[in-house]
């Protein structure tokens, strides 16, 4: 199809009134994206009667320069450059007639670099997931993936610390890090809260963590929590000779309050602070800059993401959040466990982890990665696996998640029948035994249970942990899986 068949030119194009988006220049099937273009892949469910190319053009239009009607002022601009271009539409496999799902399409849309302000996730997202998601011509819309050009990545700070320097600061190499979230998440006083932190760290964990909704409530105000937690961290460090940390949640109602809390954490020698995703992209970038400036690791809890990432037809895929957060500059992000209590298909989670940890991602449709992505030397983000995991799954966790990950056993530490310290020791022994076995070249995934049993012979806390949680697993169907036909020869 040539360009002239799809787009009207000159006077005809700019006649007042409403014309299809395709004819306004937002559908350009021959377009070859430039190396500097931002590319977005949307999953579109068009309204009945709207053809797929028009729907894709409409999304391109509404996420870039278009409004609902023709405006002559376009002619004062280099409008062909500023228009986003939908250049490819594929029917989504296993949707449409004969299936239980309405027909959906994958639409590839390219955006010129000049549409975006440097170093601003807020600006990028205001276009890509702005008005367009409420647009009537599409019944549902989901942002599945993005290709961020190196030219744009270079305008972002990236992770304040990154996996490599985090490990060097902690002096911990060659094994996943271990953490736990203090439980109960709400209600403990500062003094009691610090007790949990101390016991868990002394027992063998590297980190303990505030939960997402622990900020400064009547039962425990933030300064109290910070003081007791740092007493616990330092005492555990002296007891073990290891660097220890507690993610102090500095999330608050205003930036000023967050800075105040973060500064206080730093003044107490805290190696790491945390924020919640709900504080917003700009606040996250500000805190990442603060963290870089103050030599503090920045943990991000993805509170809120499932409101828009879980349903397959509308919202956005979590892998896009992973990309934006790597650009925004966090050091840790919760990215799924595969085997725990929260949503996660193994192949999809591998995709998230690859986005966070690799210097370069090849296109991998089975992992949900639609584009090749060069990370332009942005630091690597440490994924965090948290939610319903325990020591008995250690072989599976290492198999699926690898080495650069924080494994967080909250209930699996604090709920141990012999106490918190014993719970922590059980996890640490299980981890070290499994890493030792893996490095020895054993088939640790298959032999996992036996390796753990063996290690438990000299560690009664591990024995008790294996006994307590032996039958616990969470086997539910994932709601978010890849849609691809293995034989498809798709190239971006």
Partner 1 sequence: MMTNPGNRITQGQFSFLPELTDAQITAQIKWALKHGWAVSVEYTDDPHPRNTYWEMFGMPMFDLKDPAGILLEINSCRKSFPNHYIRVMAFNSTRGGESPAMSFLVNRPKAEPGFTLVRQETEGRQMRYTVHSYATDKPESERY
Residues that bind partner 1 (CB under 8 A): 164, 167-168, 171-175, 202-204, 223, 227, 230-231, 234-235, 237-243, 267-269, 358-359, 380, 421, 425, 428-429, 432-433, 435-436, 439-441, 455, 458-459
Residue 406, phi then psi, degrees to nearest 5? -100, 120
Q: Closest CB to partner 1 among 155 and 234?
A: 234
Identify the residue whose tokens are 């990665």.
369
* Backbone φ and ψ of 296, nearest 5°: -115, 140
Active site residue 301: yes
C-alpha 56/C-alpha 59 separation (Å) is 5
Complex with partner 1: residue 48 or 441, whichever CB lies closer? 441
134 half-sphere exposure, CB direction, 13 A CA radius: 4
312: annotated active-site residue:
no
CA angle 366, 368, 370 (to 5 degrees): 105
Residues 6+ apart with CB under 8 A from 60: 21, 26, 27, 66, 83, 84, 85, 86, 107, 109
Please compute Rg for the chain using Cα positions.
25
User: If 0-12 CB within 10 Å is exposed, 13-18 middle and 19+ buried, where does residue 103 land?
Assistant: middle
Q: What are phi and psi of 159, to 5 degrees?
A: -50, 130
Minimum distance of partner 1 from residue 459's CB (angstroms): 8
H helix or E strand, kind and range, residue 332: strand 332-334
The catalytically annotated residue of 139, 172, 183, 185 is 183
Cβ-contact 332, 381 below 8 angstroms: yes
- Taking the least distance from each CB to partner 1, the nearer of 98 and 441 is 441
Nearer to partner 1 by Cβ, of 71 and 436: the residue is 436
As a whole number of angstroms, the distance between CA 227 and CA 223 comes to 6
Q: Closest approach of Cβ 139 to partner 1, in Å? A: 42
**Nearer Cβ to partner 1 (80/168):** 168
Angle subtended at Cα 180 by Cα 179 and Cα 186, rounded to the nearest 5 degrees: 150
According to DSSP, residue 369 is labeled B
Q: Which of 360, 381, 396 is nearest to 473 (CA)?
A: 396
Name the minimum Å distance from CB 149 to partner 1: 20
- Determine how many CB atoms are found less than 10 A away from the CB of residue 345: 18
Q: Nearest distance from residue 434's CB to partner 1, in Å?
A: 11
Nearest CB to partner 1, comparing residues 5 and 171: 171
Give the nearer residue to partner 1 in terms of CB position, either 78 or 239.
Answer: 239
Nearer to partner 1 (CB atom), residue 226 or residue 484:
226
Rounded least distance, CB 221 to partner 1, Å: 12
The separation between the first and the last C-alpha atoms of the chain, rounded to the nearest angstrom, is 19
C-alpha pair distances (Å), 299 with each of 136, 158, 346, 414: 38, 13, 23, 21
* Pair of tokens at residue 159: 């992770």
Q: How far apart are CA 95 and CA 104, in angstroms?
A: 6
- Of 22, 246, 301, 416, the catalytic one is 301
Distance of CA 70 to the CA centre of its chain: 39
Smallest separation, CB 478 to partner 1 (Å): 30
Residue 393 Cα distances to 57, 221, 458, angstroms: 47, 36, 19
What residues are labeled active site?
183, 301
């Amino acid at each position: 199809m040539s360009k002239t068949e799809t787009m009207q030119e000159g006077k005809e194009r700019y006649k007042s009134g409403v014309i299809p988006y395709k004819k306004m220049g937002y559908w350009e099937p021959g377009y070859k994206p430039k190396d500097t273009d931002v590319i977005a892949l949307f999953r579109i469910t068009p309204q009945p009667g709207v053809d797929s190319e028009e729907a894709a053009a409409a999304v391109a239009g509404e996420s870039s320069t278009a409004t609902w009607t023709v405006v002559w002022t376009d002619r004062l601009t280099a409008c062909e450059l500023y228009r986003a271009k939908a250049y490819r539409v594929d029917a989504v496999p296993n949707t449409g007639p004969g299936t239980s799902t309405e027909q959906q399409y994958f639409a590839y849309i390219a955006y010129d670099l000049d549409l975006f302000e440097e170093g601003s996730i807020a600006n990028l997202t205001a276009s890509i997931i702005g008005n367009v998601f409420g647009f009537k011509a599409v019944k549902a819309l989901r942002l599945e993936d993005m290709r961020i050009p190196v030219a744009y990545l270079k305008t972002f700070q990236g992770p304040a610390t990154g996996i490599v320097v985090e490990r060097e600061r902690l002096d911990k190499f060659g094994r996943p890090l271990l953490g736990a979230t203090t439980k109960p998440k709400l209600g403990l006083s500062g003094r009691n809260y610090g007790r949990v932190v101390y016991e868990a760290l002394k027992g063998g964990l590297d980190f303990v963590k505030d939960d997402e909704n622990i900020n400064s409530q009547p039962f425990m105000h933030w300064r109290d929590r910070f003081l007791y937690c740092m007493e616990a961290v330092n005492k555990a460090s002296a007891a073990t000779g290891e660097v220890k940390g507690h993610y102090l949640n500095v999330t608050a109602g205003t930036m000023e309050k967050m800075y105040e809390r973060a500064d206080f954490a730093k003044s107490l020698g805290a190696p790491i602070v945390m924020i919640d995703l709900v504080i917003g992209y700009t606040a996250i970038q500000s805190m990442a800059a603060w963290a870089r400036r103050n030599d503090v690791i920045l943990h991000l809890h993805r509170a809120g993401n499932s409101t828009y990432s879980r349903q397959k037809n509308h919202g956005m895929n979590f892998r896009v959040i992973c990309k934006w957060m790597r650009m925004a500059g966090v050091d840790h992000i919760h990215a799924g466990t595969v085997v725990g209590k929260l949503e996660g298909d193994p192949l999809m989670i591998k995709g998230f982890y690859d986005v966070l940890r690799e210097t370069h991602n090849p296109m991998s449709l089975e992992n949900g990665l639609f584009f090749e992505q060069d990370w332009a030397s942005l630091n690597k983000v440490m994924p965090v696996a948290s939610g319903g995991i325990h020591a008995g799954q250690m072989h599976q966790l290492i198999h699926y998640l690898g080495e650069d990950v924080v494994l967080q056993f909250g209930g699996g530490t604090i709920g141990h029948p012999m106490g918190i310290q014993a719970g922590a020791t059980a996890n640490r022994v299980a981890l070290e035994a499994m890493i030792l076995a893996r490095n020895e070249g054993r088939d640790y995934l298959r032999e996992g249970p036996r390796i753990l049993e063996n290690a438990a012979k000299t560690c009664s806390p591990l024995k008790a942990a294996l006994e307590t949680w032996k039958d616990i697993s969470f086997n539910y169907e994932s709601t978010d899986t890849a849609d691809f036909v293995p034989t498809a020869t798709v190239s971006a």
